[in-house]
Structure 1
Amino acid sequence: MSGMDTRVAGGVGASALRPDGTLKVTGEFAYSSDLWLDDMVWGVTLRSPHPSARIRSIDVTPALAMPGVLCALTHEDVPGLKFHGLDHPDTPVLAIDRVRYQGEPVALVAADHPERARRAAAAIVVDYEVTEAVTDPWRAAFDPSCPKVQEGGNVLRHQPVRVGSVFEAPVVVTGEYEVGMQDQAPLGPESGLAVPAEDGGVDLFVATQWLHVDRDQIAPCLGLPPEKVRMTLAGVGGAFGAREDLSMQIHACMLALRTGRPVKIVYGREESFFGHVHRHPARMRYEHGATEDGRLVYVKAEILLDGGAYRSSSPAVVGNAASLGAGPYEVPNVAIDAYGVYTNNPPCGAMRGFGAVQACFAYESQMDKLAEACGISPVEVRVRNAVSQGSRLITGQVIDSPAPLAEMLRELEAFPLPEEPAAGGRDLRALPGGVAQTTHGEGVRRGVGYGVGIKNICFSEGFDDFSTARVRVELAGGEPHVLVHTAAAEVGQGLVTVQAQIARTELGIDRVTVAPADTRVGSAGSSSASRQSYVTGGAVKAACEAVRARLDKLAEENPGLTLPELLERSGPVEETREYRHRPTYPMDPVTGQGDSHTQLALCVHRAVVDVDVELGLVKVVELAAVQDVGRVLNPLALEGQIHGGTAQGLGLALMEEIQVVDGRVRNPSFTDYLIPTILDMPPMRVSILENADPAAPYGLRGAGEPPTLSSTPAIAAAVRAATGRPLPRVPIRPQDIALPA
């Protein structure tokens, strides 16, 4: 193969079609909730109705007395460790002596029909002693008299960042900001099928984001070695961080091992709201000092993140919020304190752009205040302070790859604005309120706003971030065929397509199959942090290069033979490779200094909105984005990621919030928890830049999360421009907008 032209259709840079695309569009794709075995039974979880209570007793005998019930389990039936967690095992498999949030799992039931299982679970008698719920994160963090949610105290991480000592300036702007609790709202609820095996182990087919970390939490709780917990990725109906923590995995396996039957668990929509973590709500206080021409002198901030009852990924969320808390701006003096706290509110963890999203809303709102105070435009104040290659982050880390933020802003500003309709010429369907005709445009005002976001790509702070790929080239039907096998979770982002594109590019073979992801191959890490194209793409590339080197050697030893002839003579050629990005380091616990991130990505948004200031309704007229992705691997899939990330940012800006009152969720349904639909998403203008990162495979830059950061503050800024209101909180509600009569 040496010297051969390996260019084939569907390689890197092409808009290769997704192998799962047609099946998903036609409704034939098999999601985890579609799993079925003839002899399977159904599992159901009993959950706490209280955010905080002691458990005096649990009586499962009423459930066991019901027809069709095979077993009912409590914490006493957990065969191994009783706790699990992503990096710290603090979450009970089933509540032991107390519950710490509404919806905490208390008991399990298996029955021969899902409705029988639900009725049996409801029949279990739990004697609760309700206790005081800690629901105010400020009190949890700073009030010494506050009860402890966890024995170690309520502050799970405090991360300061300290740079410089000058905290005086001619122009000072301050603000207090809030971000509500957002749900990932995957259309596919949590589900899976556990099958007991003859060797005493279990095979679990499940929708998840991280097969190996799931396995490494499940096995100790089942009292099994890891090799006896075999996991296969089932069809995933969206994730966005919701599937990074365990939900039904251990529960299904416990029931399967107890009954000796395959057990299927499928959450309904309401249970899904209680069965996974959410985006951390945040309270933030900011102070920006600048010169009279708008150049930053200092940033002071306090960022308080409500982690809920258990740890999950809260420490990493705090690290991101602290390290990126001043945004992509050059600022010589910084005093930031980021806190993550335990409360009796629902547990929070990973969601697209975690930590960075919350901080971005606050620092971008501050930049708009600063522009107004200095009498310059929102774009100009950002350009004057923009980072570039060679700039230092507030952690001292040098940006060592292209970061053309000023140029991106100028390009965004130059995009033509949508025309305003002539007086009396409005299409009523395009007004706030839409076809409901709640207005004829009398109180509608237009606003334009900008937002900038910076997001770390891949895992940070010293995490051993790697992926493994096995690549095999063999003859199939007389033609060369490539089989790519990784444990990387395809959660809808198009990773399966990208893996095949890389194999075609590196090996010059167009027939490529990506094997189902499972734990028979080494870990690929989580499908989060916009990392899979980087690390799993890097692993597939490395494995392909190793295979090609062997094929080249075979070609040299057997001149004149074609590739099919070489493979017929040698048999299959297979290589496995791990890929690691360059090392990162923990932030200093006192100063916050350190090279904590491996890669950074920038996205900028402009939003145009129409606001009915009498009714408090918003219509997003247009969104425009400029994003630097380093290298485009699949243009169509990339554009979909930018649109999708932007849509979730729009949801956070205007409609998405889990309403929690006294620790209780009030809107666990898509009737009351609103997510954007196609009617809410406006036309998008997208400009994609390619400034390669020399440290990354193909020069690529993770792209899925940055649009979620910058779209939210851009929309909020546009609504402020239309209404003149400060709007320090997202999502913006109608009562925040409507002007008094």
Structure 2
Amino acid sequence: MTTANGAPTKITQGSKSKGGIGESTLRPDGTLKVTGEFAYSSDMWHEDMLWGQILRSTVAHAEIVSIDVSEALAMAGVYAVLTYDDLPAEMKHYGLEIQDTPVLAHGKVRHHGEPVAIVAADHPETARRAAAKIKVDYKELPVITDEASATAPDAILVHENRDDHHIGHVPHPNIVHSQPIIRGNADEAAKKADFVVKGEYYFGMQDQAFLGPESGLAVPEEDGGVHLYVATQWLHSDLKQIAPVLGLPEDKVRMTLAGVGGAFGGREDLSMQIHACLLALRTGKPVKIVYNRFESFFGHVHRHPARLFYEHGATKDGKLTHLKCRIVLDGGAYASASPAVVGNASSLAVGPYVVDDVDIEAIALYSNNPPCGAMRGFGAVQACFAYEAQMDKLADEVGMDRVEFRRLNAMEQGTLMPTGQPVDSPAPVAELLRRIKAMPLPPERQWESSEGSDVRQLPGGLSNTTHGEGVVRGVGYAVGIKNVGFSEGFDDYSTAKVRMETVGGEPVATVHTAMAEVGQGGVTVHAQIARTELGVAQVTIHPADTQVGSAGSTSASRQTYVTGGAVKNACELVRERVLEIGRRKFGSYHPAWATAELLLEGGKVVTDGGEVLADLADVLEDGAVEIEAEWRHRPTEPFDLRTGQGNGHVQYSFAAHRAVVEVDTELGLVKVVELACAQDVGKALNPLSVIGQIQGGTTQGLGIAIMEEIIVDPVTAKVRNPSFTDYLLPTILDTPTIPVDVLELADDHAPYGLRGIGEAPTLSSTPAVLAAIRNATGLELPRTPVRPEHLTGKA
């Protein structure tokens, strides 16, 4: 891994510290998770604990005529049954940006599975049976399921009394948010095009499918407050939504991160947090809630399904002339992160290409479908699927190689985004495409060997449905662009508290942040940063809680950038304080204390020439040094609501994929043989974790390409497959070889030059797989996921 000029990214302090940045140090939680000893939130226990259960709506849109809880309350072992009328505070709604989600349904339900009542009992089965005895009388209403029904002149309003800040600029109350991006004159530019291609694409609803279901434990406190131990992505955001509904000040709602079994955006919104706290405060006892898998499908938001309408033009020389597109995202019953998803989809709709004249619009709908919000790469994933299909179509029309067509039009550092923002860090799109194309292809007909057929290498795998007849190979390419960090003027910052002291005669550092470790490896990187900056071997990571300032959400590929930046900043301040102490104590003994550049390495204070001046233990013998510090990236600004212009993003990340597939065209079965990836990561702070993130994101993109989709009945808006029996996930047998080529081109604006990496591989892996299947079959395939009937003509 190298930088642009082939030299390693400069590390200003402690580069010789063992286990520092740039090394593939092992995760402290890795062994525990592999052996099954790690304590997840669902493993928590408390003496005299009650169990909570949620009653959910059985219909998608209906008036609530009545709720009868008498039979449930009469059951032995039941301590409390609460409905909307029992909520203690004036504030009864919550939400990430728009507070439109009721804690419990009031007046009507707006989607299948909406919480209506909650129960606390002394046994989980008792709680479930009690919830089943609650009688709810519904008067069903027509459902809004798509743009036509949402914006019809006589459309029922999903939210009758909207008063949020988006209502003034949307054309209809059933549209959450609308963002146009206008630059140049797309209509005039279209007249210069020698070739024009159009396409309509559909992207299915994907579930985050984390393995650890929603769970938490709420413990009432003696001061009238509550302590919530929960699996989440953003402790402080949860706190700001929970406290008003409980009628408590924030300092009486204490939150500690419990073990998180994956997230991918699905834990940004609240699920059981408020319900557990309400029951704990009502009963005076600890209350634990753990969703089963069925409940989990209803208990968190999903990836927005989308319809995307695209038009591109190009000259006969292959240069893009214009882009017109319209992106319709279905946000479901509540807003969640829909406004941000719209902003991402619209501002990144062009992809990593130079197009001077664009006319883009993205909207998100309110509907009676399941609520949708954040999921890995949100907004940019759906757009990438469409614009990459368009690039293949246009390359074919022009008569150019598909990769070379992309390289010809690739953006680079200095390119203006369609929002007018210049890309001011490396944008090696053409180089990533060159690298991915140059990687050797896997051998053909791998199922054949001298020892006989290996059915695992065939479409259908161990089902043994084909033996190679009718199997065709296809190869496809795609590249994508994803923003890093919160955008559009959001005050995106993080806080870190670093303490340095002597324990048992050895210098030790403690790092305390509110960062949610959801499996991304942040706790590993924070320790590496502390070792690098403070030159110590022993680093303790304090459990994440709300007793330290906010770290923001573990999303948007931002945590290593922003919270890593906060840890680095706090460590640098601690280091300076330690050196000040050393100068006061030992400065008179050696002139280098005043004249040399001083470093902390190996538990010692040394000069930049390597001369040891003192042991850190001696410097710190009189006490600890502790500093809490914030860190902010460069400010952004909202996109103009008429033109979409504005410096809305902080940083961009880029990844390219090449997919190799084998397709049985008679049976409609697909085997993805290889998904090679090339990605620029700026600086790999932990190379092993970098590879893991890229391979994980790639596999998630594979899932939505060929198998994953939440099916919602178009007539009733009910979810038809809320289980892992019917919602299919890639297993190890479906996961292909994923070779990774990592490029390190430092971003001078970021700590250590790093670039957020977690989301970008999810973008381009999906269209690469679709491109390969199209290459094998010659079919247009404008939707994802691809099903067997789409390949056999029986759809």
Deviation of the 1:5 alpha carbon? 5.4
Indicate whether 1:417 and 2:447 are aligned: no
Q: 2:102 aligns with which of 92, 96, 99?
A: 92
Partner of 1:634: 686
Q: Distance in 2 between matches of 1:419 and 1:44?
A: 53
Q: Secondary structure in 2 aligned to 1:304?
A: strand
2:447 and 2:454 in contact (8 A); partners too = no
2:481 and 2:655 in contact (8 A); partners too = yes
Indicate whether 1:242 and 2:266 are aligned: yes
1:138 and 1:304 in contact (8 A); partners too = no
1:502 and 1:541 in contact (8 A); partners too = yes
1:84 and 1:91 in contact (8 A); partners too = yes
Indicate whether 1:46 and 2:67 are aligned: no
Deviation of the 1:139 alpha carbon? 2.9
Letter in 2 for 1:162: I
How has the CA–CA distance of structure 1 residues 343 and 558 changed in structure 2, closer, same or farther, with 3 Å as cutoff? same
Letter in 2 for 1:558: K
Deviation of the 1:79 alpha carbon? 1.1
- Pairing of 1:206-245 with structure 2 (within 5 A): 206-245=230-269
2:13 and 2:533 in contact (8 A); partners too = no
Q: Distance in 1 between matches of 2:561 and 2:146?
A: 39
Q: Secondary structure in 1 aligned to 2:412?
A: coil
Deviation of the 1:138 alpha carbon? 3.8
Q: Distance in 2 between matches of 1:690 and 1:566?
A: 37
Partner of 1:126: 136
Q: Distance in 1 between matches of 2:573 and 2:206?
A: 44
Q: Distance in 1 between matches of 2:358 and 2:615?
A: 63
1:191 and 1:267 in contact (8 A); partners too = yes
Partner of 2:619: 566
Q: Secondary structure in 2 aligned to 1:568?
A: coil
2:95 and 2:336 in contact (8 A); partners too = yes
Partner of 2:42: 33
Letter in 1 for 2:68: D
Q: Note the alpha carbon deviations across 1:343-378, whole angstroms, 9 max, x for none.
A: 000000000000000000000000000011111111
Indicate whether 1:78 and 2:87 are aligned: yes
Indicate whether 1:320 and 2:329 are aligned: no
Letter in 1 for 2:434: R
Q: Distance in 2 between matches of 1:614 and 1:5?
A: 60
2:54 and 2:118 in contact (8 A); partners too = yes
Q: Distance in 2 between matches of 1:387 and 1:19?
A: 39
Q: Distance in 1 between matches of 2:365 and 2:396?
A: 34
Q: 1:600 aligns with which of 652, 655, 672?
A: 652
Q: 5+ unaligned residues in a row in structure 1: which ranges?
A: none
Partner of 1:725: 779
Q: 2:747 aligns with which of 668, 689, 693?
A: 693
Q: Note the alpha carbon deviations across 1:172-207, whole angstroms, 9 max, x for none.
A: 000000000000000000000000000000000000
Q: Secondary structure in 2 aligned to 1:236?
A: coil
Deviation of the 1:428 alpha carbon? 2.6
- Pairing of 1:260-659 with structure 2 (within 5 A): 260-421=284-445, 427-559=454-586, 561-569=614-622, 571-659=623-711
Partner of 2:169: none
Deviation of the 1:137 alpha carbon? 3.0
Partner of 1:23: 32
Indicate whether 1:682 and 2:728 are aligned: no
TM normalised by structure 1 equals 0.98
Q: Distance in 2 between matches of 1:82 and 1:463?
A: 25
Partner of 1:143: 152
How has the CA–CA distance of structure 1 residues 5 and 447 changed in structure 2, closer, same or farther, with 3 Å as cutoff? closer
1:613 and 1:739 in contact (8 A); partners too = no
Letter in 2 for 1:565: D
Q: Note the alpha carbon deviations across 1:28-49, whole angstroms, 9 max, x for none.
A: 0000000001210000000000
Q: Note the alpha carbon deviations across 1:328-347, whole angstroms, 9 max, x for none.
A: 10001101110111000000
Q: Secondary structure in 2 aligned to 1:286?
A: strand
Partner of 2:591: none
Q: Secondary structure in 2 aligned to 1:308?
A: coil
Q: Distance in 2 between matches of 1:346 and 1:370?
A: 35
Q: Secondary structure in 2 aligned to 1:533?
A: helix
Q: Distance in 1 between matches of 2:121 and 2:624?
A: 47
Q: Note the alpha carbon deviations across 1:32-89, whole angstroms, 9 max, x for none.
A: 0000012100000000001000011111111000010001000111111110000111
Partner of 2:600: none
Q: Distance in 1 between matches of 2:389 and 2:154?
A: 34
Q: Distance in 1 between matches of 2:574 and 2:467?
A: 66
- Pairing of 1:158-197 with structure 2 (within 5 A): 158-165=178-185, 166=188, 167-168=190-191, 169-197=193-221
Q: Distance in 2 between matches of 1:408 and 1:113?
A: 55
Q: 5+ unaligned residues in a row in structure 2: which ranges?
A: 1-11, 163-172, 587-612
Deviation of the 1:163 alpha carbon? 1.1
How has the CA–CA distance of structure 1 residues 740 and 202 changed in structure 2, closer, same or farther, with 3 Å as cutoff? closer
Q: Distance in 2 between matches of 1:163 and 1:726?
A: 30
Deviation of the 1:740 alpha carbon? 7.3
Q: Distance in 1 between matches of 2:318 and 2:110?
A: 47
Q: Note the alpha carbon deviations across 1:590-636, whole angstroms, 9 max, x for none.
A: 11111100000000000000000000000001111100000000011
Q: 1:108 aligns with which of 103, 106, 118?
A: 118
Q: Distance in 2 between matches of 1:740 and 1:120?
A: 46
2:352 and 2:410 in contact (8 A); partners too = yes
Q: Distance in 2 between matches of 1:10 and 1:561?
A: 22
Deviation of the 1:416 alpha carbon? 1.1
Q: 1:60 aligns with which of 55, 69, 77?
A: 69
Instruction: Give the total of aligned pairs.
Output: 737
Alpha carbon RMSD of aligned pairs, Å?
Answer: 1.3
2:14 and 2:532 in contact (8 A); partners too = no
Q: Secondary structure in 2 aligned to 1:709?
A: helix
Indicate whether 1:256 and 2:276 are aligned: no
Q: Note the alpha carbon deviations across 1:390-446, whole angstroms, 9 max, x for none.
A: 101111110001111111111111111112128965533210011221011111000
Q: Distance in 1 between matches of 2:555 and 2:88?
A: 31
Tell me the percent identity: 65
1:137 and 1:342 in contact (8 A); partners too = no
Letter in 2 for 1:26: T
- Pairing of 1:728-739 with structure 2 (within 5 A): 728-739=782-793
Out of 475-484 and 502-511, give the one that drifted further.
475-484
Q: Distance in 2 between matches of 1:390 and 1:485?
A: 38
Q: Distance in 2 between matches of 1:191 and 1:640?
A: 26
Q: Distance in 2 between matches of 1:92 and 1:137?
A: 24
How has the CA–CA distance of structure 1 residues 424 and 86 changed in structure 2, closer, same or farther, with 3 Å as cutoff? closer
Deviation of the 1:556 alpha carbon? 0.8
How has the CA–CA distance of structure 1 residues 261 and 402 changed in structure 2, closer, same or farther, with 3 Å as cutoff? same
Q: Secondary structure in 1 aligned to 2:621?
A: helix
Out of 635-644 and 558-567, give the one that drifted further.
558-567
Q: Secondary structure in 1 aligned to 2:311?
A: strand
Q: Secondary structure in 2 aligned to 1:279?
A: coil
Q: Secondary structure in 2 aligned to 1:264?
A: strand
Letter in 2 for 1:355: G
Q: Distance in 2 between matches of 1:477 and 1:670?
A: 50
The ranges of structure 1 where at least 4 consecutive aligned residues each deviate by more than 4 angstroms after the TM superposition are 3-6, 422-426
